[in-house]
Amino acid sequence: MKEIVVISGKGGTGKTSLAGCFAAMAKNAVVADCDVDAADLHLILGPEIKQEHKFSGGKKARIVTDKCRGCGRCADVCEFGAVAIEDPEKTGIERRFVIDEISCEGCGVCRYFCPFGAIEFEEAINGRWFLSETRFGPMLHAELGAGEENSGKLVSLLRKEAKRTAEEQKKDLIIVDGSPGIGCPVIASLAGADFSVIVTEPTISGLHDLSRVAELTKQLGIPAAVCINKYDINESKSAEIESESSSKGMSVVGRIEYDKAVTEAQIKGVSLVEYTDNAAAGQIKDTWRKVLDTVNTKQ
């Protein structure tokens, strides 16, 4: 079983569009949308949910009213301002403390210092994850609650379930739409993968972000190659990106031209390679062939 992760140094480079095309062209594969902070691969693949599960990435504090004596020790030690006094006009009690779930970081300090054992920790539901079926096979994806953290844990869970699904259904390939950037969710998307495709654009920021994420893949020991999206909008910068990639030991497996058909395909809810057989679609197909050849060569 091989795992290919599509990543980028920032959002908006065409990473998900490329991952959707890879899913359309792959055979015997499981797809995982690990860009959980801004998941949108489902807009292309149209998954039908088969299983839905709650995701808990941590715990939140809760004050047990019957045990609380209103001493205020919890408010004194909370560094996040998560403890407040309820309005006495509403409760009829002069000093009754409550925890603001949004502000609570789940550190446990309040529970540790409470002299009356009046604070409990409960599992916090941060989102949901799904096992779905698409026209190309199984898909793992998730919905993280607004403002919720722990996206790295959710990414790790999705990849674990993708591998389990691949084993159960005897799939020999996992395609991951990874998180953009270089933070915790990206590391969780990459760690232990067989190969990564870094999608970039021919701009100054594109080159800068490519360098950062390329350094990350190097540190993690993940083989990487580069795909330049919209390469024709600035061919001199594309040439600079190719030179930079070569200096870092990465090959350029894709050069995809700008094409309005990409947007048209997204409006239709399909990948570009399904929507048309134009030049850009051909370039994506060629990119996929090079990726597979590279991955199979590394076996």
DSSP single-letter state for residue 295: H
- The three-state secondary structure class of 52 is strand
200 vs 248: CA distance, rounded Å? 15
Contact between residue 206 and residue 48 where contact means Cβ atoms under 8 Å apart: no
Whole-prediction pTM: 0.85
- The pLDDT, as a whole number, for residue 148 is 67
> CA 21, 27, 33, 34: dihedral to nearest 10 degrees?
-110
- Residue listed under structure tokens 């807009």: 43
Helices (H), the chain: 15-25, 42-45, 73-77, 88-91, 109-113, 151-168, 184-190, 204-220, 235-247, 261-268, 272-275, 279-297
Q: Is 145 exposed, middle or buried (0-12, 13-18, 19+ CB in 10 A)?
A: middle
| Contact call for residues 36 and 188 (beta carbons, < 8 A) | no
* 204-220 vs 235-247: helix crossing angle, rounded to 10: 20
Strands 97-99 and 83-85: antiparallel
Q: What is the pLDDT of residue 178?
A: 95
What's the N-to-C CA distance of the chain in angstroms? 10
Joined tokens for residue 73:
């020790």
Q: How far apart are alpha carbons 2 and 295 in whole angstroms?
A: 8
Express the helix, strand and coil content of the chain in percent, nearest 5 each.
40, 25, 35
| Tens-binned pLDDT, residue by residue, of the chain (299 aa) | 999 999 999 888 999 999 999 999 998 899 999 998 889 999 999 999 999 999 987 788 999 988 998 899 999 999 999 999 887 666 566 778 999 988 888 899 999 999 999 999 888 888 899 999 999 999 999 998 776 666 888 999 999 999 999 999 999 999 999 999 999 899 999 999 999 999 999 999 999 999 999 999 999 999 999 999 999 999 999 999 999 999 999 999 999 999 999 999 999 999 999 999 999 999 999 999 999 999 887 65
Phi, psi for residue 23 in degrees, rounded to 5: -60, -40
pLDDT recorded at residue 85: 87
Q: What domains lie within the chain, and their CATH numbers?
A: 2-56+126-297 (3.40.50.300), 58-124 (3.30.70.20)
Provide the token pair at 284: 């994506």
